[in-house]
Amino acid sequence: MALSSRPRSFRVSVCQRRGRTALALDRAIGDTYCHMNPRAKPPANPPVRRFPVRDEDALKELALRYLARFPCTAAKLRKHLGAKMRDAVLAGEAPQSAMRAWVDGVIARLEHVQLVDDDLYSEHRASTLHRRGRSTRFIRRDLEQRGAAPDAVVHAIDVLAADVPDSDLVAAIHLAEKKRLGPFGKSDTRKEHRQRHLAALARAGFSFAIARSVIDAHDADAARGLVRTD
């Protein structure tokens, strides 16, 4: 029977085993629409939740669980905790008036003990992406999309530039070696694929000058020798 023709109060239970997320929707379809309306009243008989949020300490425990799996910026953690608080309000566990105060309180407590630190997170993320052959432009965009504070993004880029001179050139060489571009690829098809290899580095955020110097290097040793050692 089609979804639109089923009764309003039918119940759905979906279980994805083998480590996948178990999803149990044991409420009427009309009640599930409450998630889309922040002014909606919680259901009369809400289901028992595994990690109820009845006070700020319980929300902090959820934050610690999340950070243990996904280190993130303060903005991303705030978004995650906001979603948990909305669920708690709809389940009747917490008052709606406490949503902002509890989230702000947890973020402040975690920042105080440096479990949430945009500067440290951005430094680590920038270093990791650079080792993967990512350009400064790519790293900046990635940090901004993850909600890092503007000052933290600038700080991370400055630290990377201080730690690794010619950081974009080093990253471009690493990416070319990883993808077998230019002098790191097959010599018999190198001239034929030159434009495609240049485009690959350009799409990765490297300037044309850097891309050309790497792709047009005589051989792999010459490409690696482009990096200053002094």
Give the torsion sign (CA, 214, 219, 220, 224).
negative
Structural domain of residue 217, as residue ranges?
A: 168-224
Instruction: Specify whether 69 is located in the same domain as 144.
Output: no
Instruction: Specify whether 102 is located in the same domain as 29.
Output: yes
In a domain, residue 3? The reply is no
- Cα–Cα distance, 31 to 90 (Å, whole number): 10
**Could you give the number of structural domains in the chain?**
3
In a domain, residue 4? The reply is no
3-state secondary structure the chain: CCHHHCCCCCCEEEECCCCCCEEEECCCHHHHHHHHCCCCCCCCCCCCCCCCCCCHHHHHHHHHHHHHHCCCCHHHHHHHHHHHHHHHHHCCCCCHHHHHHHHHHHHHHHHHCCCCCHHHHHHHHHHHHHHCCCCHHHHHHHHHHCCCCHHHHHHHHHHHHHHCCCHHHHHHHHHHHHHCCHHHCCHHHCCCCHHHHHHHHHHCCCCHHHHHHHHCCCCHHHHHCCCCCC
Instruction: Specify whether 74 is located in the same domain as 87.
Output: yes
Ordered per-residue pLDDT tens for the chain, 230 residues: 444 444 444 333 333 333 333 333 334 334 444 444 556 565 566 566 777 888 999 999 999 999 999 999 999 999 999 999 998 888 888 888 888 999 999 999 999 999 999 999 999 999 999 999 999 999 999 999 999 999 999 999 999 999 998 999 999 999 999 999 999 998 888 889 999 999 999 999 999 999 999 999 999 999 999 887 66
The pTM for the full model equals: 0.71
Instruction: Specify whether 88 is located in the same domain as 135.
Output: no
- Cα–Cα distance, 76 to 197 (Å, whole number): 35
Single out the residue in 72, 94, 112 at which a domain terminates.
Answer: 112
